[in-house]
């Protein structure tokens, strides 16, 4: 992917799919070597008119509702759209939503916190912590390689595409153990340049294994450990995990909708997320995810030296952009953003910020094609408005 000054963030988000869960992370401009790079302060004043414009015209064919918060040196929050297509009631600005793969930020923070407490060795191997999980085909895989998507594990099985078979199977249970077993059965990637630590591939499987590892070393549930070490310290009082196969979003929320391959738009709010688990089943709010960003970046969850070394450092591997739970984007002119997106049927989520927290963005967009190959138009407009990125030449503004 060709990097363009100031358009890098959106171009890379589009390449990453903002909702795809697999694939090689796109190459973007970054400092050589595995050194943490501090972003400078965001130079521009917050244009609240552009943020409000980004939410105008909802609901439309792509988006039924949107919730957004911008923080840092200036603050703004807003919402638009409807809570329910049937009733047309106004969207709940503080509603809960499926946060998708932003769950991985919590999982990474939890693992790093346990490492700081001496419970986990980041150089320790899956074979040591989870004996018998992998076959002899696999080379030793370290905890750090799981965190940075460089394990070489293949994705586990799912229940089908969300715009088709997956929707029909939305109340079925696929346990994390079954997902991992199906990955192991495929064997490791083979060939020149393959193997642990040699290539970065973004996938859920690494964080599913991390969830199993957390439970093994703590003799406790992943969910309780995440609440104890991440959610509570961050003050995330409205964030939860669904509890195995429970398909509901408990508490006030906006309905999520999915467009199927045959063109129908169906209610996708109730969906069993058991197969996503530590990789993507969290339910949260924009305010709670903003609290996560500020608490995490300020070193209140993971000690600062460890945080900088692992979460704000990209592996020295060609094409790598992911650290432990975050993705680094160079937006040009010295502006570096640390980002994580998430997508579950009916819900797109993004958390993003500069390292110094001078500008942050959190949004939940109720997209009718949340797992689609391109970025939701409302999400793109919010990113551009929050970080003062100009629109691409020839690209339409406003509602789409």
Q: What is the pLDDT of residues 312-370, one digit of tens each?
A: 999 999 999 999 999 999 988 788 999 999 999 999 999 999 999 999 999 999 999 99
CA dihedral sign of residues 277, 280, 285, 291: positive
- Give pLDDT, residue 283: 98
**Is the pLDDT reported for residue 296 higher than 90?**
yes
* CA dist., res. 35 & res. 14, Å (int): 26
- Give pLDDT, residue 243: 81
**Is the pLDDT reported for residue 18 higher than 90?**
no
Query: Domain ranges in the chain?
Result: 8-87+97-386
Q: Residue 13 — pLDDT band, cuts 50, 70, 90? A: low
**Is the pLDDT reported for residue 15 higher than 50?**
no
- Give pLDDT, residue 43: 57
Q: Residue 40 — pLDDT band, cuts 50, 70, 90? A: very low
More confident residue, 270 or 397: 270
What CATH number does the domain located at 8-87+97-386 have? 3.40.710.10
- Give pLDDT, residue 392: 63
**Is the pLDDT reported for residue 87 higher than 70?**
yes
Strand order in the sheet with 327-330: 76-81, 63-72, 359-367, 347-354, 336-344, 327-330
* CA dist., res. 97 & res. 114, Å (int): 27
103-129 average pLDDT score: 98
pTM of the model: 0.90
55-79 average pLDDT score: 97
* CA dist., res. 118 & res. 140, Å (int): 21
**Is the pLDDT reported for residue 16 higher than 50?**
no
- Mean pLDDT (the chain) is 89
Helix pair 103-116, 286-297: axis angle to 10 deg? 30
CA distances for 301 relative to 56, 71, 120, 151, 292, angstroms: 36, 19, 16, 25, 9
**Is the pLDDT reported for residue 1 higher than 90?**
no
- Give pLDDT, residue 375: 95
* CA dist., res. 352 & res. 362, Å (int): 6
How many CA atoms does the CB half-sphere of 368 hold within 13 Å? 18
């Amino acid at each position: 992917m060709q990097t363009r000054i100031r358009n890098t963030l959106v171009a890379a988000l589009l390449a990453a799919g903002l909702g795809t869960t697999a694939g090689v992370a796109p190459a973007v401009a970054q400092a050589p070597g595995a050194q943490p790079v501090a972003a400078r302060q965001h130079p521009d004043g917050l244009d609240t008119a552009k943020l409000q414009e980004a939410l105008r015209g909802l609901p439309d064919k792509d988006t039924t509702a949107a919730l957004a918060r911008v923080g840092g040196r200036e603050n703004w929050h807003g919402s638009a759209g409807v809570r329910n297509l049937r009733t047309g009631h106004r969207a709940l600005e503080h509603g809960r939503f499926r946060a998708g793969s932003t769950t991985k930020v919590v999982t990474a923070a939890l693992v790093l916190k346990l490492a700081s407490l001496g419970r986990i060795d980041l150089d320790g191997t899956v074979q040591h912590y989870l004996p018998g999980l992998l076959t002899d085909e696999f080379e030793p895989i370290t905890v750090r390689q799981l965190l940075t998507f460089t394990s070489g594990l293949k994705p586990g099985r799912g229940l089908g595409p969300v715009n088709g078979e997956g929707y029909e199977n939305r109340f079925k249970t696929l346990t994390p153990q079954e997902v991992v077993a199906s990955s192991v059965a495929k064997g490791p990637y083979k060939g020149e340049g393959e193997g642990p630590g040699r290539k970065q591939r973004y996938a859920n499987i690494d964080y599913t294994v991390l969830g199993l590892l957390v439970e093994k070393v703590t003799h406790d549930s992943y969910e309780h450990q995440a609440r104890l070490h991440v959610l509570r310290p961050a003050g995330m009082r409205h964030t939860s995990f669904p509890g195995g196969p429970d398909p509901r979003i408990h508490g006030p929320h906006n309905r999520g909708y999915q467009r199927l391959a045959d063109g129908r738009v169906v209610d996708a709010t109730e969906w069993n997320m058991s197969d996503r688990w530590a990789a993507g089943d969290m339910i949260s709010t924009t305010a709670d995810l903003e609290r996560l960003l500020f608490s995490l970046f300020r070193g209140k969850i993971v000690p600062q030296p460890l945080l900088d070394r692992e979460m704000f450092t990209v592996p020295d591997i060609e094409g790598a952009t992911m650290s432990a739970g975050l993705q680094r984007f160079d937006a040009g002119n010295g502006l570096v953003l640390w980002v994580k997106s998430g997508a579950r049927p009916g819900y797109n989520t993004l958390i993003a910020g500069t390292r110094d927290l001078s500008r942050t963005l959190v949004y939940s967009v109720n997209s009718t094609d949340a797992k689609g190959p391109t970025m939701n138009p409302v999400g793109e407009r919010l990113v551009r408005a929050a970080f003062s990125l100009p629109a691409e030449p020839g690209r339409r503004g406003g509602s789409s």
